[in-house]
Amino acid sequence: MDSRAFDEERPRAVAAVSSSGTAPAVRCMGVVKRFREPLEADEAEAERGWRERIGLLGRRSRPVEALRGIDLVVPAGSVYGVLGANGSGKSTLIRLLATLLLPDAGRLEVFGHDVVCEAAAVRRRINRVSVEASFFKSLSAWENLLYAARLYGLPPRAARERSAAVLERLGLPAQKLRARVETLSRGQQQKVAVARALLTTPDLLLLDEPTTGLDPRSKREVQEFLGEIHAREGTTILLTTHDMDEVERLCDRVAILDGGRVVAEGTVAELKLRFAGSESADMEEVFLRCTS
Amino acid sequence: MHELSAGWGLLERNFHLIRRYLSWEAVDFFYNVVNAVTIALIGVRGGPSMVLYLLVGALLWNFLSIIFNEVANSVQWERWEGTIEYTFMAPIRRLTYLLGVSAWAVLYATLRTGLVLAVVALFFRMPLRAADLGAALVVLLVASASFIGIGLVAAILPLMSPERGAQATHIVQGALLLVSGVYYEVSALPVWLQPLSWLSPATYTLRAERAALLHGAGLGQLLPALGILVLFALVTIPAGYAAFRAAERYALRTGRLHRNG
């Protein structure tokens, strides 16, 4: 199937789910997001005026479209994967859903709540793990978790019990809670980030490359744990990743982004059949065929 | 209740951060003490009143600067640590966040300035027999509110410009230091600059504090200055909050909180 033909079918499919009555976990309709990107050094040099030269003005920039009319539906209770090359718009999509960006056009809903007009309602139902560890690095893991618990109105005792249970399951010894985050390895920091996101039992967990940079064992521990959480608590998971095995292992459905557009969407088996001709094909082959 | 817990969480978090960066605090504290003592020593030839006049300026400027910096740099600090997105994604009102930051600023400034005062008192005999300390304290609290308002306005700068915003807050602070009569009477300024002193709450704070500490002025006599400071707070806090919200929307629209991919 040609990805252009797929592009034309998407809005109709999203509208069909929209009229079905039950609110999906995520619904994106014609979402566009633009940023300004600094010019390359040689282009900037050519356009520099006297104000740039003496530092009065910053570097010149040009507009770039990170998302170009995304239509997407993530069913409640599913694990939904978003694949895409670097710069394809995956993190931008996650940030829009996390109420950390405003769309330039289109509409995004989380469990029926508009992310722009009802940001507070959305924030109560989500949490996010980003690719970079966003912690106060000089504080201990526990001090960071306590801060998160306070922000979400969780009593410290409940926060300690829950985070200790999660970290134990992820193979991080309880005494590591007292260690400064800056002394923990990347894998350990990411496990603390997962524990922090799950403190609040979110209905929608946004995971932006949560296993990037982890060793195989840590990666497997995090993946298994996410599978358990999904099975036990019915948490909807929206996961961006570059790891094809992770997608095959965890995701019910997958969308592939390329240049800010959804170029393919379906179950892993559907995508393999559609783009590689066989359900036993490699997911990496599907990815390479879909992306430029 | 949840908002209260979040506000407390901000105080607790900042306390933990101070504890972790205690060596920075010690260096800052040492500098504050030396700065206050050095400035007060300039006035020794003018007698104890002159010393007290300069000390009030140094200590009060220290107090107001801490409040201003804590509020104005709260965003910059979180941006530096990489936590700003996590904090801004939490289901709390932005007002709660800003009130938590402001409450911490007042508590921390009071403690730090109190400690500096305690050490500086070992160097000088301060003629406080005539002082109305209660009135001086009231002025300090009311002035805090108006400085929080200005801090909120300055806090938008790091939101709007991640690279230069924090440095730009020094311009605001420097301008207030110049025009407010911290170490000299406003009348010492060039005539064309003097009207700017009317726009600084520090001008009225310093005048009222000096009147209370040097001349024993009571609350009754300080009412006009207190009224102006209350007015400043009533204008700058809502204006600062509105500006912060507008700057936050700008940051969300342009991806200034953070962006990659």
Q: Please state the domain extents for chain A.
A: 3-48+59-290
**Residue pLDDT, tens place only, A86-133:** 989 999 999 999 999 999 999 999 999 999 999 999 999 999 999 887
Q: Do A91 and B261 touch (CB under 8 A)?
A: yes
- At A280 the pLDDT is 85
Closest CA in chain A for residue B22: A138
pLDDT tens string A222-250: 899 999 999 998 999 999 999 999 999 99
In a domain, B223, yes or no: yes
Mean pLDDT of A212-225: 88
**Nearest Cα residue in chain B from A85:** B261
Check whether B120 has a pLDDT greater than 50: yes
User: If pLDDT is split at 50, 70 and 90, which confidence band does B134 have?
Assistant: very high
Asked whether residue B168 is domain-assigned, the answer is: yes
Residues of chain B with C-beta less than 8 angstroms from the C-beta of A139: 13, 16-17, 20
Confidence band (pLDDT; 50, 70, 90) for B260?
Answer: very low
Does A99 lie at the interface with B, CB-CB under 8 angstroms? yes
Asked if A124 lies within 8 A of B91 by C-beta distance, the reply is: yes
Residues 6+ apart with CB under 8 A from A79: A226, A227, A230, A236, A237, A239, A250, A251, A252
Q: A90 near A59, Cβ under 8 Å?
A: no
* pLDDT value at B259 more than 50: no
Report yes or no: A59 at the B interface, CB cutoff 8 Å. no
Domain-embedded: residue B34: yes
- Torsion, Cα A216 A219 A225 A231, to 10 degrees, reads -100
Q: What ipTM was reported for this prediction? A: 0.86
| Length reported for chain B | 261
Q: Which domain holds residue B58?
A: 2-254
Structural domain contains residue B209: yes
**How many distinct structural domains can be found in chain B?**
1
Q: How far apart are the first and last CA of chain B?
A: 37
pLDDT at A14 over 60: no
Quickly list H helices, B161-218. 165-179, 194-197, 201-215
Which CATH code is given to the segment(s) A3-48+59-290?
3.40.50.300
Q: Is residue B30 part of a domain?
A: yes
Average confidence (pLDDT) over A212-218? 86
CA distance A194 to A205: 10
Residue of B76, B77, B83 for testing the chain A interface, max A β-carbons within 10 Å: B83
B22 vs A contacts (CB less than 8 Å): none
Across the interface, whether the CB atoms of A150 and B9 are under 8 A apart is answered: yes
The DSSP call for residue A182 is G
Q: Is residue B117 part of a domain?
A: yes
Per the CB < 8 A criterion, the answer to whether A116 and A103 are in contact is yes
Question: Average of pLDDT values for B161-190?
Answer: 87
* B93: closest CA of chain A, how far (Å): 8
* CA angle, residues A19, A205, B250, in degrees to nearest 5: 80
Q: Assess if residue B88 is contained within a domain.
A: yes
In a domain, B192, yes or no: yes
**Closest Cα in chain B, distance from residue A239 (Å):** 14
Question: Which candidate in A101, A135, A192 is best for mutational testing of the B interface (most B CBs within 10 A)?
Answer: A101
